[in-house]
Amino acid sequence: MSTAKKKALIISCMAVILCAAVIAGATYALFTDGEQYAIGVNTGKIDVSAALSMEDAWSESQAGVKENATKGEGEITSLTVPQGGKVSIAEGKTVTFSEMSLGDGAKFSLSFDNKSTVDMQYRVSVSVNAGASKLLRDHLTLKVNDGAAADMFADGQEQTALIDWTAVETGENNAPAALDKLTFEIALPWSALADSETYDEAQSISLTVKMEAIQANADSMPVYVTLEEASTGALEEALSAVEEGGTGFITLPEGEISWTDAMSELTANKTLTIAGAGQDKTVISAAGSGFTQIKLQGTVTIKDLSTKGCTFELSGSVTMENVGITV
């Protein structure tokens, strides 16, 4: 198994010396005095590791008869379900379910190693990556611990919580607190049968499980996204990845991206920094005709790019840095 580790410092590590100078001189010695005090500051730390494991896999008939895969001894890295599909886990972080059939499913677990010496909060989420099959996106179910199975991405969501933000206090003398193991199941139920009949090719989906940890009194974890391609869809997806009330840093590649009204709406109630690769490399253009004033709805900084046929309407919450404007 491999681990995914998040660290955050409470404050910068530093040592401070405060000095009160002694005023010397015979005339004033009676009325003056002085001391010097040394103050050393050592930071606490947030240090949480998570290890992903596979526990079981199965095929379930339309009549509800469940048959589990045959498991060997020791750590499970691959299982073949009775229906013929195969579930594998590589390097403790990448799960692949190939040849999945209706009724197939698998169970996984996350074990945590908490070495944090300060109070913290953490969450675990699963998100869908670009290019996902609509069939699988709409019908895959998720069961967390002993809860009931439910649609993984209901109402078009991009992300769903396995564990929502949970506060964890340190013990006596800042001893790290133990975190309970998390189990979750992913399955393709028979309820997808009707919709599956409209597809004649194999479908695929890629999911990412992510753990985040921050200090207990922080609002939220910033989201950092670096686009690999200059496209409208990629930028909309990046903006969607930042939750309302959250903070995001989005880095754009070289190329031209058409800005849409949907993107403006996706900035609402968010604090965003959108940075290009340079004025001569990254271009934001207007989706419509004529010169357009783009009005953003959040607190947004646009920098290191050029606009073509448009500009961003400046306000107290929208600023531009190193932005070239071409009519």
**SS in 3 state form for the chain?**
CCEEEEEEECCCCEEEEEECCCCCCCCCHHHCCCCEEEEEECCCEEEEEEEEEEEEEEEECCCCCEEECCCCCCCCCEEECCCCCEEEEECCCEEEEECCCCCEEEEEEEEEEECCCCCEEEEEEEEECCCCCHHHHHHCEEEECCCCCEECCHHHCCEEEEEEEEEECCCHHHCCCCCCCEEEEEECCHHHHHHHCCCCCCCCCCEEEEEEEEECCCCCCCEEEECCCCCHHHHHHHHHCCCCCCEEEEECCCEEEEECHHHHHCCCCCEEEEECCCCCCEEEEECCCCCEEECCCCEEEEEEEEEECEEECCECCEEEEEEEEEC
The two structure tokens encoding residue 72: 């060997």
If asked whether residues 197 and 76 sit together in one domain, one would say yes
- The model's pLDDT over 219-271, given as tens digits with 9 standing for 90+, comes to 767 788 888 899 999 999 999 988 888 888 899 999 999 999 899 999 998 99
Domain boundary among 215, 246, 279: 215
If asked whether residues 104 and 204 sit together in one domain, one would say yes
Q: Is the pLDDT of residue 24 over 60?
A: no
Residues β-bridged to residue 142: 150, 186
Q: Is the pLDDT of residue 20 over 60?
A: no
Residue range 34-38: mean pLDDT, rounded: 66
* pLDDT for position 6: 36
If asked whether residues 31 and 156 sit together in one domain, one would say no
The two structure tokens encoding residue 230: 């200059």
Q: How many domains does the chain have?
A: 3
Domain boundary among 155, 189, 215: 215
Highest mean pLDDT among 17-21, 201-205, 297-301: 297-301
If asked whether residues 195 and 263 sit together in one domain, one would say no
Rounded to an integer, what distance in angstroms lies between the CA atom of residue 77 and that of residue 148?
Answer: 26
Q: Is residue 3 part of a domain?
A: no
Rounded to an integer, what distance in angstroms lies between the CA atom of residue 241 and that of residue 128?
Answer: 10
If asked whether residues 271 and 313 sit together in one domain, one would say yes
If asked whether residues 189 and 240 sit together in one domain, one would say no
Residue 62 near residue 54 (C-beta atoms within 8 A):
no
Q: Is residue 302 part of a domain?
A: yes
Domain that holds residue 179: 45-215
If asked whether residues 147 and 272 sit together in one domain, one would say no
If asked whether residues 74 and 180 sit together in one domain, one would say yes
Q: How many CB atoms lie within 10 A of CB 245?
A: 11
Q: Give the amino acid at 115.
A: K
Q: Is residue 4 part of a domain?
A: no
Rounded to the nearest integer, the mean pLDDT of the chain is 83
pLDDT band of 34, cuts 50, 70, 90: low
Q: Is residue 142 part of a domain?
A: yes
* pLDDT for position 32: 52
Which pTM value belongs to this model? Answer: 0.61
Q: Is residue 65 part of a domain?
A: yes
Q: What's the sign of the alpha-carbon dihedral 247, 253, 324, 256?
A: negative
pLDDT above 90: percentage of residues in the chain: 41
* pLDDT for position 41: 78
* pLDDT for position 10: 29
Q: Give the amino acid at 269.
A: N
If asked whether residues 203 and 283 sit together in one domain, one would say no
Tokens 């695929």 appear where? 204
Q: Is residue 2 part of a domain?
A: no
Phi, psi of 326 (to 5 degrees): -115, 125
Q: Is residue 24 part of a domain?
A: yes
Does residue 281 come out as left (phi exceeding 0), alpha (psi in the -120 to 50 range) or beta? alpha
Which are the contacts of 94, defined by CB distance < 8 A and separation ≥ 6? none
Q: Is residue 103 part of a domain?
A: yes
- The model's pLDDT over 138-180, given as tens digits with 9 standing for 90+, comes to 899 999 999 999 998 877 777 888 998 889 999 888 889 999 9
Q: Could you tell me which of 260, 269, 267, 272 has the C-alpha nearest to residue 231?
A: 260
If asked whether residues 57 and 83 sit together in one domain, one would say yes
Rounded to an integer, what distance in angstroms lies between the CA atom of residue 136 and that of residue 125?
Answer: 18
Residue range 315-321: mean pLDDT, rounded: 87
The two structure tokens encoding residue 140: 């895959």
If asked whether residues 190 and 305 sit together in one domain, one would say no
If asked whether residues 81 and 164 sit together in one domain, one would say yes
- The model's pLDDT over 102-113, given as tens digits with 9 standing for 90+, comes to 999 999 999 999
